[in-house]
Chains A and B, each alone.
Chain A
């Protein structure tokens, strides 16, 4: 079963614009992670935000987490054609706080047009 639900399912923007993807989930979590998957390649970990954090930055990525609304957003600033990929949120339901069981959403397919 999949807990995370990304929105939108697909997003098409021009190079240089910002891209925002949202993720909603259903149960309590220890942390939430975002992954990227390029066509034909495996998933790559982008960023992790813990349940007691509200915002985190990594390069052009900004992630927010609102545990009261059970939602997270991923913002990619100044997008590039190379950012074209599917983006997945994954919630960690591990009892020990470790990422033992990641539950992935269906993903947002981002296309950045040059």
Chain B
């Protein structure tokens, strides 16, 4: 089973600043990596798939990069609605599909 590790667990950033979230896989997942955003009381929402492709309707301030075992989600200029929990998920070697434990992005 591929283990996904996200860092940091909590990230404090001011509105308007850049946020950089990391996700590491225990073995290569190629570019088969997705990112999700989850706000309190809501279902997760797909942001990025194939490591760098934005899902329909996702603002351009969200970008994904990386391949192999190291991945990054960057939010270029944080808006108030971006403060949420973010999860990465690999789908290169499954079952099982595996998620990271999440990064909570909070207002500084």
Do these two chains really belong together in a complex?
Answer: no
Binding site for B on A (CB under 8 A): none
